[in-house]
Amino acid sequence: MSAPPLVESYHLKTAAERHFAEPIVFWDETLRDGEQMPGVHFSVEEKLAIAEKLSEVGLHVIDAGIPVVSEQEAASVHRLAHAGLRSKILASARTVPGDVDAVIESGASHAAIFVAASEVHLRYKLKMTQEQVLDASVRCVRQAKSAGLHVAFVTEDTVRAPFDFVERLYRAVREAGADRLVISDTVGIMTPLTFRWYLNEFKRRIGPADWSVHCHNDFGLATANTLTALEVGVTCPHVCVNGLGERAGNASLEEVAVALESLYGVSTGLKIGELFALSRTVEETSGVPLAANKALVGYNSFSHEAGIHTHGILAHTLTYEPLQPESLGRTRQMILGKHTGKAALVEKLKERGIVLSEPRLNELLQRVKRSGESHSKAELHAFLAEYREIFEHPGISDAEFWEVVKELAPEVPPP
């Protein structure tokens, strides 16, 4: 099998003309937004183990969590902030002074102060006016800056907020000392073309700044929108390992990083060859299995069964692989089954130095195909049933909830 270069040069000449920031600062949200995925929770030790791997891979900023949430969360942030990691440790806070105090006490060097900005959030969730949001934001940014923290200001649902309001809000927090400005597509409604226009308009209104984006994947566009943001000069993308996060998740670390390296020819400074190991660690720790067809790190990303494909791969791997699996710390798999062709069997037989005559090779091929078609799906169906039960009903069960209620308030009648 021939060995082509590590990565074929796919990026267009025009990619070099795009305004990529130097360097791109990766802000990882696995331990905060990733943990907010229903059913996912990390212990202090688990957060530390993941953070250590993130730091080893080269992530620049790690959001360790919201310390005011619980004593364990505060302990986690404190532990990471004092672990001596190369990554900068960030903690998040609402525009509430007590939240900011908790970040300051945690020892984190970076703070993300967030508040909702869209009308639907202000009216139905915060029950605050625009002026109240602006005043609270400025006050908390100043509070964090006075404590010596690097401050990122984040608005939830930025893209659905009135442009005039977010313009005033971001100007005000920048004047108050905010170091980084984060634009959020909180419910994943942006498309790449729309987001390109939106970001350029935002930059025109606000002027030069250290821009960051936080993209959700509700319509499967988080990675595409994040790459679009980087194309127009955004400095800092938010990412999550394996695309974890609320609902359908966030922009995937491995997808954004490898696309930059392979498709755009942009150096990320990350250890790309360690991303698969990191992915597996997060899969095991979070308990959320990777989809078999997940881009780059899914189990089938470098697996081939169809005869046409295996024949092409055996001739030259770039026929059906855009990059070498080894560049991600992975290996290639040739799957034997219903769609197998002769080329794959010949290659498999070489492992033991066996050469079969054409008639025997044809008979072997037919038996492999029949065997592949006859495999029972009972085990798979049982696995899917258990998987659905776990992920359709994450968290504590109704029975567990009402048992706790009964203990606390025995006078309450059972449901």
CATH of the domain at 139: 3.20.20.70
Grade residue 305 by pLDDT with cuts at 50, 70 and 90. low
Grade residue 311 by pLDDT with cuts at 50, 70 and 90. low
Q: 151 with 100, same domain?
A: yes
User: Which one is predicted more confidently, 76 or 17?
Assistant: 76
394: in domain: yes
**173 in Cβ contact with 153 (< 8 Å):** yes
Give me the number of domains the chain comprises: 3
258: in domain: yes
Q: What value does the mean pLDDT take over residues 392-398?
A: 84
Q: 254 with 349, same domain?
A: no
Q: What value does the mean pLDDT take over residues 170-189?
A: 98
**Sign of the alpha-carbon dihedral angle for 256, 258, 263, 266:** positive
Q: 341 with 392, same domain?
A: no
- Is residue 284 predicted with pLDDT exceeding 60? yes
13: in domain: no
- Is residue 7 predicted with pLDDT exceeding 70? no
Grade residue 140 by pLDDT with cuts at 50, 70 and 90. very high
For residue 22, the model assigns a pLDDT of: 82
Q: 56 with 167, same domain?
A: yes
For residue 6, the model assigns a pLDDT of: 42
2: in domain: no
Q: Model-level pTM?
A: 0.88
Q: 141 with 245, same domain?
A: yes
Average pLDDT, the chain: 90
Contacts of 264 (CB under 8 A, 6+ apart): 11, 15, 18, 20, 227
User: Which one is predicted more confidently, 267 or 367?
Assistant: 267
What percentage of residues in the chain have a pLDDT greater than 90? 66
CA separation, residue 387 to residues 288, 299, 356, 382 (Å): 10, 17, 43, 9
Grade residue 16 by pLDDT with cuts at 50, 70 and 90. very low
Q: 402 with 329, same domain?
A: no
pLDDT tens digits, 150-161: 999 999 999 999
Q: 155 with 280, same domain?
A: yes
Helices 192-206 + 222-231 axis angle, to 10: 40
User: Which one is predicted more confidently, 352 or 53?
Assistant: 53
For residue 65, the model assigns a pLDDT of: 97
Q: 192 with 334, same domain?
A: no
Q: 384 with 349, same domain?
A: no
Across-strand partners of 240? 252
Q: What value does the mean pLDDT take over residues 231-259?
A: 97
For residue 209, the model assigns a pLDDT of: 95
For residue 17, the model assigns a pLDDT of: 53
Pick the closest to residue 155 from 192, 115, 185, 207 (CA basis): 115
Grade residue 280 by pLDDT with cuts at 50, 70 and 90. very high
11: in domain: no
User: Which one is predicted more confidently, 331 or 125?
Assistant: 125
Boundaries of domain holding 369: 312-374
For residue 8, the model assigns a pLDDT of: 45
- Burial (Cβ within 10 Å: 0-12, 13-18, ≥19) of residue 306: middle
pLDDT tens digits, 248-270: 999 999 999 999 999 999 999 99
114: in domain: yes
For residue 2, the model assigns a pLDDT of: 40
CA separation, residue 261 to residues 222, 227, 275 (Å): 18, 12, 13
413: in domain: no
Amino acid at 106: S
For residue 347, the model assigns a pLDDT of: 79
pLDDT tens digits, 21-78: 789 999 999 999 999 999 899 999 999 999 999 999 999 999 999 999 999 999 999 9
Q: Tally the C-alpha atoms within 13 A of residue 405's C-alpha that lie toward its C-beta.
A: 12
For residue 1, the model assigns a pLDDT of: 40
pLDDT tens digits, 97-130: 999 999 999 999 999 999 999 999 999 999 999 9
Contacts of 105 (CB under 8 A, 6+ apart): 67, 74, 78
Q: 93 with 173, same domain?
A: yes
The answer to which of 89-103, 113-127, 350-364 has the lowest mean pLDDT is 350-364
- Is residue 13 predicted with pLDDT exceeding 60? no
400: in domain: yes
Q: What value does the mean pLDDT take over residues 130-141?
A: 98
Q: Which of 269, 286, 303 is the last residue of a domain?
A: 286
Q: 197 with 324, same domain?
A: no
Query: Coil, strand or helix: which one is 222?
Result: helix
Q: What value does the mean pLDDT take over residues 316-337?
A: 83
Q: 28 with 81, same domain?
A: yes
